Amino acid sequence: MKRYPEAKILIDGDWRMHDPRSVINPFNETEVGAYAHATVADLEDAVSAAKRGIHAWGKLGPVGREEIMTRAANLLRERADEIARTITLEQGKTLREARAEVLRAAGNIEWDGHEGRRIYGRIVPSADAYHHEVYRQPIGIVAGFSPWNFPIASPSRKIGSALAAGCSVILKAAEDTPAGAFELARAFVDAGIPRGVLNLVYGDPPTISEYLISHPEVRMVTFTGSVPVGKHLTALAGDHMKPVLMELGGHSPVFISRTADIDEAADAAVAAKANNAGQVCVSPTRFFVEDAVYDRFASRFVERAKMLRIGNGLNDDTDMGPLINSRRVSAVEALIADAKAGGAHVLAGGERIGDRGFAFPITILGNVSDATRAMQEEPFGPMALLSRVSGVEEAVEKANSVRYGLAGYAFTRSALDIKILSQRLEVGNLAINHFSSSEPDLPFGGIKDSGIGREGGIEGPLAHTVVKTVMTLLV
């Protein structure tokens, strides 16, 4: 069985390992490996390498870039089982979820590679003596920052869109889960990507972000993570007049209509809530249930949630893994305590499991006041908050009352409900009668405090380009 890899940094095609820091398994708090800690000198080298690499990448053209990206995607598929085990060790999610994440990363890279061939300019009709053209060109070096909850899928979005557009990349991956990004970068190296096109670092987040964002050779910043950090990085980028792509937090509303298949909706809610132990920006959190079916939905939701087997993600019979660290446990416990103080009833879960590791059950709260912290702050954990509503109008009003606007869900058979939700729910992604919110060929991102710009679809690569207009007087 393959051991947890040394998560080295990648600069100019070379792997570096120095000042190693520990990686902790969130199930049992044991050390599973180490990652390299980048210095400012490493960052300087990474920028220089990316500056050289973008020229080599550009010479390959769209077809050459597509070939390398497709090879990298295929290598990820071939290595899916071993990479999945690595991700489970560092992040805690089940092997099933980890393997699906690796395959999703491969799909993202493959889609972006193909889409890079379709970044077109245009010719604009003009007077006889003139010729007007519009070009889309790579924006330049992109600094990407990826989170710990999806160690390989999130970096694949950062890397794929930038590479497809012809950019070079410096990726700062998460220190809690470094090996997912390492395996992604290794696949690109093995696929033959030119030196310097892709660079990978870990280290002190403020040092890395401030250095890269302020560097004049870095032309764009892309980040997935919390709202406060995203706002901070956006402000830094604004000081240097650099565009950003921000995929930030969410607090996803779910409308359960009296017309829905209630058992099906509750079962789907349990599966969605268990995904990654609720540590997902699009995880369903605020359930607005029509009064006529509230008791039935709550009963089924609680029954199925209590059946989940929570434990070591490496075990085949585990349904849900642990939270990532003690900080997440404390954060969830604080939100539960505040909700209970505000009159909420704990219908399921509510307490950490055991005293070693960070396992926490799905916690379902009923009668949750809109004024509680849990209803206003992203829980980023296995919490589900149930509220009664009179219908879709009240559900939309309550759903839109928070500053988040990433994903939303609804279970309904009413065409009128669907029209109202589609037009009025303030989210970037809406799923009706299911909980899927992201596919490689569809744009993904939020509104309000949940972000700026879109990853995925044709919008992802286009976001990494600049537009140049050329007007020629023919003489």
| Residue 192, phi-psi category: left (phi > 0), alpha (psi -120 to 50), beta (remainder) | left
Q: What letter represents residue 314's amino acid? A: L
Q: Which position has the token pair 């869109």?
A: 161
Going 68 to 69 to 74 to 78, the CA torsion angle's sign is positive
If phi > 0 it is left, if psi is from -120 to 50 it is alpha, else beta; for residue 202 that is: beta
State the DSSP string of 113-132.
HHHGGG---EEE---TTEEE
Judge whether 201 and 7 are in contact, CB under 8 Å: no
CA gap 322, 30 in Å, rounded: 14
Element (DSSP H or E) covering residue 201: strand 198-201
Which among 247, 377, 378, 426 is annotated as catalytic?
247
Q: How far apart are the first and last CA of the chain?
A: 70
Choice among 281, 290, 377, 455 that is catalytic? 281
Q: Among this protein's residues, is 281 annotated catalytic?
A: yes
Query: Residue 408 pairs with which residues in a beta bridge?
Result: 430
Cβ neighbours for 73, distance < 8 A, ≥ 6 positions apart: 106, 107, 109, 110, 113, 187
Number of Cβ within 10 Å of residue 472's Cβ equals 11
Q: Are 406 and 427 in contact (CB under 8 A)?
A: yes
The amino acid present at 208, given as its one-letter code, is I
- Active-site residue set: 247, 281
